[in-house]
Chains A and B, each alone.
Chain A
Amino acid sequence: MHRVLTLAIGTLTSAAMGIAHADMSVSAMAAGRYNDNVGNAAESDERIADEVLAARIGLYDLVVLDGADTLSAGGDLSGEWFDHLTGLRNASLDASLALRHKWALGLMAPWTRATFSVGRTDSDAGYRDATWYRAALATGKRFTPAFNMLLEYNFEHRSASPGEEVQPWVSADVFSGNSQALALSIEYAFGNHISLNASALWRRGDVVVSSDEYYYSYAEARAIEEDPALGEEYYAYRFLGTTYGGRVGLSAALTAHSALSLSYQLLSTHAAGNNYRNSIPELRWDYRY
């Protein structure tokens, strides 16, 4: 975690000094959320809930190539602080490059954006550390100044170090994996202070499930390794699964540069013949300058 922080501070400082006259944007986020099923348990008596404090700071530069094309480059430093599951506390550093094309002039013009991101997450439980790569393609349109819509597809690859083998012939590389996701988001502003946002999510790919029961070790498990961050005798299993989710949120503008939001997210994952549900209410503050 310290390695990530040192690297992050160096990168952000040099970026800020080097691009004094660029179209820089600083963003920050702080959130408190409650996850009722951190380990993706199928049975209700296995569920472990926790409160999470999350924060992110980002520095992005907008390079205007011409009137229609813009290149956005930058990075984020973020972290999550779990109240009880201390092994899951983590810090992440990521860098993104996004090319956006606007298909016409003006506020209502449709646009398309391709983004490539790479990031590293270090957890207190070191076996969960991973480097991830994400490619995303998004398109959106603002139909009125109050109504905005966005559709995004992304593919993610995570690369982690395998743990100790638990079961012969079964991989112990649980925290590596691939997934693809599609999200449709809308935002509607009721005046200049309150806005409603909602999104629908579909995700297909590797899912990590943690349990203290060993019965999950069916042939469907792509990988199994010990997961002491969730508790003694816990094992993490990687399955192929599909997640359906929805999120609704209400945002209040505090100033021209900041907003406070309250949201609720429900995720339902189907993998290896089981269903896993997460419900996540969140209170969050966003800032951008």
Chain B
Amino acid sequence: MGLPLLRPALIVVLALAANFANAAELAALVKDALGKPLADAVVLATPLDPKAAQHAPAPGDAVDQVDKQFVPYVKPIYVGSMVRFPNNDHIRHQVYSFSPAKNFELPLYAGSQAAPVQFDKPGVVVLGCNIHDWMIGYIYVADTPFFAKTGANGMAHLADLPPGEYSVRIWHPGLEGGEAATKQMITIVADQPAQAQWRLNVKLPVRVPRVSGAGSSVYP
């Protein structure tokens, strides 16, 4: 009785397993215009074959709040993902976003009281806290399941890419010129790691300072 229900799932799992069996990795190096490694850049690989992009959203995505900052500063997720916003400070935060990709508000909360939020539209979501104006974070809602974020060394590793042609692009909070200008076509060959490099014009967005030189001690 359960077999008819299980069969499609089994086919998807087998198809994915077959893909992964020959999957390869893309190592992406992202630098700024001066040649310095660029952290917090999101590398997105979109397969030209749409079947390769059939993927379930990854569970367990979270953007934490630690020392009155969003951690991580940039969080890439796959469209449709649910994201939790645990608060690891001993105070309350009020998280919000006015971004077209997701307009939401989590009323004041502490700990893990806030319900997860589903991000069902691709794009950039800028996070803020209504109590602590300097808190800013970014969720990049990707339209492809194949993405990774660069670390301090500017490297991002996109693992388990099924063989095929990919359009690979970059997003960064300070990217000038738009994502489309960063596009590179890359061919992934079975069991062969691929490499690519980008050099981008980036102007870091201005963040509200925690301490002001005009300074009053009244908080904030």
The interface of chain A, by Cβ under 8 A from chain B, is: 21-23, 25, 27, 29, 56, 58, 60-62, 64, 66-67, 70, 72, 74, 76, 96, 98, 102, 105-107, 109, 113, 115, 142, 144-146, 185, 187, 189, 191-192, 195, 197, 199, 249-253, 256-261, 263, 284, 286-288
Contact = CB atoms under 8 A, between A and B. Distances in A.
A192 B206 contact: yes
B218 A66 contact: no
B204 interface: yes
A62 B128 contact: no
Contact of B209 (A29, A259, A263): A259
B contact patch SS:
loop
B208 A67 contact: no
Interface stretch (B75-83, B91-99, B178-186): B91-99
B78 to A, nearest CB: 27
B130 interface: yes
Contacts of B209: 189, 192, 195, 253, 259
A90 B211 CA distance: 26
A261 B213 contact: yes
A101 B210 CA distance: 19
B30 to A, nearest CB: 20
Contacts of A287: 211
A145 B96 contact: no
30 contacts: A22-B90, A23-B92, A25-B220, A27-B217, A29-B217, A60-B219, A61-B219, A66-B108, A74-B217, A74-B219, A96-B218, A105-B96, A106-B98, A107-B128, A107-B133, A107-B208, A145-B205, A192-B204, A192-B207, A197-B212, A197-B213, A197-B214, A249-B213, A251-B212, A253-B209, A257-B211, A263-B213, A284-B213, A286-B212, A286-B215
Nearest to B133: A107
What is the predominant secondary structure among interface residues of chain A facing chain B? strand
Given A64-B108, A197-B214, A286-B215, A191 B130 contact: no
A113 B130 CA distance: 16
B131 A64 contact: yes
B: contact size bracket:
20 to 34
Contacts of A96: 218
B105 interface: yes
